[in-house]
Structures are given as C-alpha cells and as structure tokens.
Structure 1
C-alpha cells in the first residue's frame, strides 16, 4: 500500500510540475516585413483590382483553351514532381507521429528468460531442474523542460511547410505547363511564317533564275535571291528542333517518354488575345500568401522550436520508472519470487565540455539564417511581381508597334514588287522588302509569345495556380496501394490532410499562424 501511495503521489506531483512549466526556448513570432506596408509595386496598370474577379487557383481557365485545361489536369495527376511533393507530406506526417509518440512512456519492455540444467551422476542417477523469470519495465521521461512539446511544435511546423511546398510545386508546374504549351504554339506559328515566306522567296528565285537563263537579268539578282531563299530555308530546321525540345520538356512535366503526347496531335498555332490581369486583393497580400513565402515561414517556425529542444539538454532529465518481475524454479526448497519497484530517476549531463551550449548556439544561428532566408524570399517575391508586371506592360506596348511594322513591311513588299514588274526599280528592292517582311513578322509573333509568357509569369508571381491538397490528389490511389503492400502505414494513407487555421493575423505562433487560401 505504501508503494502504491508513493507512486500516486509522485505521478501527481510530476503532472502538476509538467503543467506549470513553460517550454524552454523562444516562442516563434512572424518575421518582420514592415516595409511591405509602404511598398507600392510598379504595376504599370496591368493589375485591375476587382472584388468580383475569379480567384487565381485555376487562372489558366481564363484563357478559354480546353486543350490547355486538359494538360493541366493530367500534369497534376501524372507529374513525378507532384508525386515527390506529395510523398514529402506523407513523410512529414510520419515524422510528426514520431514526435507525438514521445509524450507517452518511452520504455515499455517485456523480458523473459528460462534455463534447463540436467546432471548425470555415478550409478546412473539423473537429476535436472529448471528456472525462469519474467519482467515488465516501464520508463517515462517527463517533459519537464518542454523538450517533447518543442519537438512536436517543430514537426508540426515542418508538416505545414510540406503542405506549403506542395502548393508551391503546383504554382511552378502550372506556369511551366502553360509556358511550354504556348511556346509550342508560338514556334508552330513561326514555322508557318517561315514556310510562307519561303514559298514567296522560292517563287522570286525561280523568276530570277528564268530571267538569267534567258539573258534578261544579271547573275547578281539570281545569287541574291538564291541566298535569301536558302537563308530562310535554313532557319526552319532550327525552329523544328526547338519545337521538338519543347514537346519533350512538356512530356517530362507529364511524366511521359519523348514523343508520347497524343494530346498535341491536333494543336493549332492560334495564340489568344489576353486582357489585363484582374485580381481580388492587393499585391502585398497576395505576396504574403505565396506558397514559397509560406514554406519559408513554416521552415523558420520549425527551426525556432529546435532552440528549445537544444536548451532542454542543459537541464536534468526527470523520469519515472517501474518494474514488475517474477522468478521461479523447479526446486522445492525455494519459492517463486514476485518483485515490484517504482520511483523517480534523474540524469544530468553535467560535464559536457560546452557541447550542449554550443548546440544551442548552433540552433540559434540556424534560426537567424532561416529568418534571413524568409526575408530574401519575400524580397524576391516582390521583385518577381514587379518584373512580371513591367514585362507585361512593355511587351504589350511593343506589340502594337510591331503589328504596325508588319503592316508597313507587307505594303512595302507589295509596292516594290509592282514597281519591279513595271520596270521602275531593280530586283534588290524586292529582296529587301521580302527580308524585312519576314523579319518583322517573326518579331511580331515572337513578341506576342513573350507577352503571353509575361502574363503567365505574373500569375505565377502572384502565387496563383494551387488548390488545397487532399490525400486523393496528393498521392494517387495506385501508389498508395503499392506502399501499403510494402509497409504498414496504418491510417496515414487515408486520413484527411489538416491545413493550418486561416486567420487574418500573421504574427501568431506556429500552431495558429495563418495559411491563407488561394483566393486573391
């Protein structure tokens, strides 16, 4: 009775002390980004704030291209990069489970042993006896200094970081698929322009060759026409090479082998006419919601908790232990023995020669590095938004000029051809007009492709293109079945993913810090 009473008193005291002791180390606070309050990006009128605007989670649907929508869907389902990001979420969930398990008794051990002894003596007599014992040991290190709480806090933040990283992969993948898709269409149109001009130049070359053969024209016109024709012809293989490389790159994003894109069999070269980007919120708020910024935020929170873990090693470890044992043998002269032991234990690494203190310093330095990395991530995000908006504005301004230049070049070619046919000018004027028309047409379509790429970059810079992670779309069912056959995953392969609570504040602790939705 005295033993049981002692154990109860010890456990109650430990629970009281545990509840009243705050974890060591700093409580995480959101990094300071006060400069964002006064930041006014040079958006050059490209962003129209509209409360009724659709969110940016599927910004590509604004382009009204069913083929692109289909490719986006398949990329999210089939991309190896997306699968890796999903598996990192699963890994972080398992790590969180490891950290949470430290709250329970760390030692739960059952041991048993037995022995048999046989002896043969003189006269043929034989004597034997057996002995056996069993014990159950239980040890629980109390989280007196918050070591385990900080471990769970760190693992929790790392889990949220993996969710944010998965969103960041979605943003990047969406932009890459769209960029390659429209790069393919742009290259197809450039090939069409080159082939159209090639046909025109071939006709001119044939005319000059016929005139030269008949002695009606000089060889100079013939060679110049031939050189221009061959130069245009030589540009087409390079464009076809670029087209093949773009197709292969898109195939990799979809987890396909080269030349395995039947979806592009009926693709055309038509490029969309895009309007200005409309958003619901101001760019500063969108910047703070970018998945890469959120990833850096949670990584910083995870590292902050590591300081408390390191500091806990400086203090004594207080544990409760208990043992129930039994031993017996076949000898009648002795009785079976049952033993019970329980009580507290203290261990303290006193002579660590500065190792533990330097580990605290190491974790603090890593926290400061994470804070600096967060600030750099925010700065780069602001730069990318401003650069993308500026690029949209400049390519749009250039497009009208280039379209006018194409129109002027085509008119110049028409006039030069008529004057040559009427004998008012030499053939060199026709060749110059043909070269100018080809060059200006190619520049115009290249700039149009650059303008589309700039708008895609702006959507990416604003953090658009991600959707909430669900276990079914994070890891495909077939892959989960394969992993379940290999390892017992319990419920981790089926349980819903829990995202952080969405709040309006950005200065709370990691357990309640915001993870704003993709709802610009």
Structure 2
C-alpha cells in the first residue's frame, strides 16, 4: 500500500502544478503606438512652462481664486455623478470577488433528510406493525481544476475591470473639476458683461436725457433724441438677458457642487473678476501626461480585461477535470439496524468534442471584441492628443485676441471721451457720440468674451492632459456607506480600497508608485 501512495501523490502534485501553470489564450500586450511616447506639439510648447507650483494635480490654483478652490472641494464631496462613479468601483470590487471564488470548489452542497416509515403487516405467523425514522445527511463537493486557466483568466479580466472602474472614477474627477471651473468662470463672465451693460446703459441714459431736454426746449432736432433713445433702450434690453444667464449659470454651478438651485452667498466676493494666467503650468512632458489621462488608462485596461476573456472562452476547447466527493451518513431507529458512513471521491472528465464550431466561434467573438477595444484605445489616444493640441492652439489664439481687444477697448474709451468733448465744444455732431458709445459697448463685450474664451481653453488644456485626476478622499461618503451596510451585508468591501499613490511633482505622471 505505501508503494502505491507515492505515485498517487506525484500524480496529484503534477495535476495541481498543471492546473496552476497552464493558461490558454493571449497574454496582455499594451496597444500603445510608438508615436505616443514622444508626442508633443508646437502650440503646447508655446503656451506651457515647467515649474513645480502650482501642482498639476490641483491646476485650478493657477487662478489664485479661493472661491473656486472652495467650490471644487465641495463638488468633490457632494457631486452625485462622482458618487455614482465611486459606487461603480465598489461594484467592480464585488465582481472581482465573484471571479476570485473560482479558485475554490465551485459546487458545495450539504443536505439532510428525515423519513418516517409506518409498516403494517398482515398474514403469516407473526404479523407485526413497525414504526421507524430514517435519517441521512450528506455533503457533496465538486472542484474543477484550473488546467487551462479558465478561472485565472477570469480573475485577470475582473482585476483589469476593477482598475478600469477606478480609472473611470478618476476621469469623472477630471471632468467634474474642469466643469466646475468652466461654469464658475462663465458665471463670472456673465457678471462682468452685465456690469458693462449696466455701465453703458447708465452712460447712454445720460445722453438720452440730455438730448430729450434739448429736443423739448427746441435746441436740438428730434433725430438726435430718437437715436439716443433707441440706442439706450437697445443696451437696456441686453440686461434682462444677461441677468437670466447669470441666474441659470449660478443654478448649474449649485447643482454641480451638490446644492439645490439658488443663491450662492460666497459668490458675492470677486464678482465679475476673470483672472487669466498667460501660460499653462506643467510638471511633466505632454506625452507622459497624455498617457496619464484616466480615460486613456481606462481604455487600456478595458483591452486587458477583454484579452483575458479570450482565454476564458478558449478553455472550453479542452477537457475539464473535476474532483468529485461525497460524504453521506445515514441512520435509522429500527433496533439492530446499523448506521452507515459512505465516502465517495474521484475525478471526473468532461470534454465537449462535438460543439459544431460553437466554442471556436465564441473564441472568435471575444477576439473580435478585443480588436475593437484596441482600435477604440488608439482612437482615444489620438482624440486626447487632438483635444490637447486644439486647446493649446485655442489658448494661444485667444490670448492673442485678448491682447488686441484690450487695446481696442482702450481706444474705444478714448474715442468716446474725444467725441463727447468735441460735441460739447460744437466741433462734432451727436451722431459721432452715438457711434463712439455703440463701439465702446461692443468692444468691451467682445473683450470679455475673448478673455472668457482664453480661460475656457486653459481649463480645456488641463482637462485634455488629465489634470486633477487625484483625490485624497473617500470614494463614497460615509452616510451612503452606512446605508448600504444596513441594507446588505457587504463585509469589508465598502472599506476604502488602497488609493493610487500621489505622484511627486518630478515623477512620471503616467505611472502609479
């Protein structure tokens, strides 16, 4: 008997070794293309500079606006879209737990039975009734050995999907912070435009009142009076539209930070101010920042998850070996009847030899899906590069336009002063004053729009390069976590998973530590 145990142990050891080492299907290969590693653009070089502060992960600090800092912090804590993205990370974590369970026996069942027997006999020499109970309990187990990597590939896929969910959370963080900043400065632009409209309306009202008095007294023609009135009313008519835009934009900002629509008291400070840095501050080369973008990483992880699914499908082409076992104990209350304990164990082999191409076509389906995701990833990288280049170009041109329109506004203001002086001295007619007033209003409004466009392109550039992806805080708030725990047994899955390490300013943004 000992002589037989050694070969049996060797066979079992070899089986387990094969189960752990053989994996069918392709190993993941990054779909990155060579050009990405060294990508840059002349526009990006023109409008960016490298310095350690402010941190690229908190790029909005370049505006030196404490109100914006507070709004972004509040959005991080209370925005519902970001909360949903955090919950999807928890969902992916539970899905990974399902895949990890494949390492253990896939079928485990315990059963217990009780049977009452009531026998009535008749005839014979000694007929006798009998009453008894029969009991049995058993435990069945089936463990499919992972010969071909079916379960390890499934774990690999679920693991990649889990990290993709984390990357999607970081992408939601990038988009949210950019949206809060963009909405905030759009609001400040509408406030500034409203102030300019009110100032010009007040200026034009004075001219209208003067021409009205002159017309009523007979010292001026009706034409001057009507033209001044029309221009004043036209400017006055822009104010309600701008006031409506201010309120709608303020409501949009309130919803972004998790508040109901309504006034935001903190916005009273710095009203109408639009700070405009003349450069984007980067701590890393653009190629690394591009690969650091959360949506790019999520697309690459989706490729990794799908690559593993090919192995899961391909494992069905090969036989599966299952270790089966049963333990059954039975007893009865009949006098003299023995109790029984039965142990049954052994391997089982299953092999679908005649699938008529179903399994092979399933492998092909998974492979086609993989190639789709590879193409989607490459397109995502190209689109990311385009977005960054477009934003850099837009910023450069918007800054150029802003400088020109700033000078134009100054010239228009000086022109109005001269027109008013010449009109008072009788060297110019009132039409020149009206033209100067109209031109000033148009130039001031255009200047504010060009300045807003430059700010929007600067925000777009940081967003395109994945700025602001890191957050040192919980994925879901404590109240939500407690409600979910009361509703369902989550064990420790709702505890915060390890956060990605915060990269130093001089480290590569595209890698986790």
TM-score by length of 2: 0.93
Contact 2:47 2:395 (C-alpha < 8 Å) held by counterparts: no
Change in CA separation of 1:260 and 1:224 when aligned onto 2, cut-off 3 Å: closer
* 5+ long unaligned stretches in structure 2: 504-508
**CA shift for structure 1 position 310:** 0.5
- Where does residue 242 of structure 1 map in the other structure? 245
DSSP-derived class of the 1:128 partner: strand
Change in CA separation of 1:45 and 1:18 when aligned onto 2, cut-off 3 Å: closer
Contact 2:51 2:281 (C-alpha < 8 Å) held by counterparts: no
* 5+ long unaligned stretches in structure 1: 503-513
* Aligned pairs (5 A) from 1:76-475: 76-118=76-118, 127-259=130-262, 261-332=264-335, 334-468=337-471, 473-475=474-476
Contact 1:43 1:390 (C-alpha < 8 Å) held by counterparts: yes
Contact 2:204 2:232 (C-alpha < 8 Å) held by counterparts: yes
| 1:210-245 Cα distance to aligned partner (Å, 9 max, x none) | 111112222211111111111101111111111112
**CA shift for structure 1 position 40:** 3.5
**CA shift for structure 1 position 298:** 0.4
DSSP-derived class of the 1:43 partner: helix
* Count of matched residue positions in the alignment of Structure 1 and Structure 2: 503
Contact 1:500 1:515 (C-alpha < 8 Å) held by counterparts: no
| 1:180-207 Cα distance to aligned partner (Å, 9 max, x none) | 1111111111000000000011111111
TM-score by length of 1: 0.91
DSSP-derived class of the 2:317 partner: coil
RMSD after superposition? 2.4
**CA shift for structure 1 position 496:** 3.2
Task: Tell whether 2:73 aligns with 1:73.
Answer: yes
For residues 272 and 54 of structure 2, what CA distance do their matches in structure 1 show? 27
DSSP-derived class of the 2:474 partner: helix
**CA shift for structure 1 position 309:** 0.4
Change in CA separation of 1:496 and 1:45 when aligned onto 2, cut-off 3 Å: closer
For residues 401 and 334 of structure 1, what CA distance do their matches in structure 2 show? 106
Contact 1:136 1:323 (C-alpha < 8 Å) held by counterparts: yes
- Where does residue 485 of structure 1 map in the other structure? 486
**CA shift for structure 1 position 142:** 0.3
Contact 1:49 1:281 (C-alpha < 8 Å) held by counterparts: no
Contact 2:38 2:287 (C-alpha < 8 Å) held by counterparts: no
Change in CA separation of 1:311 and 1:122 when aligned onto 2, cut-off 3 Å: closer
Change in CA separation of 1:44 and 1:139 when aligned onto 2, cut-off 3 Å: closer
Change in CA separation of 1:329 and 1:7 when aligned onto 2, cut-off 3 Å: farther
Change in CA separation of 1:243 and 1:312 when aligned onto 2, cut-off 3 Å: same
Change in CA separation of 1:25 and 1:72 when aligned onto 2, cut-off 3 Å: same
Contact 2:191 2:272 (C-alpha < 8 Å) held by counterparts: yes
Contact 2:278 2:399 (C-alpha < 8 Å) held by counterparts: no
